[in-house]
Amino acid sequence: MNDTVSRPSSSGGPIFTVALRAGIVFIILCGILYPLAMTGIAQLFLPHNANGSLIKDASGTTVGSELIGQTFTDRKYFQSRVSSIEYKAEASGSNNYAPSNPDMLQRTKDSIGDWAEQNPDVPVSKLPIDLITNSGSGLDPHITPESAEVQVPRISKLTGIPEEQLRQLVDKHTEGRDLGVFGERRVNVLKLNIDLQTLLH
């Protein structure tokens, strides 16, 4: 009787083949089929969101996304929050300055100074904090309704549109809390300015 115990080959051939096949299967499933399925489902049920939540103006021209903020340099439009990355999506984030950081203090002072110069009819004491602070991502497209309302006197003076009409526009674009519980009331600045633009033409 042969008592010699057979040992697996040290070459690892069968194991390598199994691992290779498993790798190919998972690449196809997870790297190709799953992304295609999710993309197809998104295009079918949520095409607007799947395509970047793009926004068009009255002429049908794509002017941005409702998910990413923009800087508006023309003072006759509503202004967005401060963004230390200039709303560049590829650089999402902030520099996380401490409240005592000299650069942040200087930036805040400059923002307050700009506000006082551009909005002489509204005292600095009524300036909402979100207009002079950076959001966590630096991409937030929203401001609070209060931040939109304090800009009404400036915009009314520059455009000739009555303040009451501008406030109605802000109310129209004020979004409530998600599911009535999560988040805060907010206004998408780009959507608001698109409607404002229609009043100017």
The type of residue at 118 is Q
Residues 135, 183: Cα–Cα separation, whole Å: 14
Read off the pTM: 0.76
Whether 8 has a pLDDT exceeding 70, the answer reads no
Whether 152 has a pLDDT exceeding 60, the answer reads yes
Determine the pLDDT at residue 7.
55
Q: Which residue has the tokens 């009331």?
A: 185
User: Which helix or strand (DSSP H or E) is residue 65 part of?
Assistant: strand 62-65
Render pLDDT for 82-102 as a digit per residue (tens, 0 to 9). Answer: 888 888 877 777 777 777 888
Burial class (CB in 10 A: 0-12, 13-18, 19+), 161: middle
Whether 162 has a pLDDT exceeding 70, the answer reads yes
Residues 145, 78: Cα–Cα separation, whole Å: 11
Whether 1 has a pLDDT exceeding 70, the answer reads no
Which residue would you say has higher pLDDT here, 138 or 156? 156
Residue among 145, 144, 122, 117 nearest 133 (CA): 144
Q: Where exactly are the structural domains of the chain?
A: 13-47, 53-200
Determine the pLDDT at residue 35.
93
Whether 115 has a pLDDT exceeding 80, the answer reads yes
- C-alpha distances out from residue 88 to 84, 91, 135, 137, 147, Å: 9, 6, 13, 10, 22
What dihedral angle (degrees, nearest 10) is formed by the CA atoms of 74, 80, 81, 84?
-60
Which residue would you say has higher pLDDT here, 84 or 15? 15
> Percentages helix, strand, coil for the chain, rounded to the nearest 5?
50, 10, 40
Asked whether the CA dihedral 27, 28, 31, 34 is positive or negative, the reply is: negative
Q: Which residues pair with 64 in a beta bridge?
A: 55
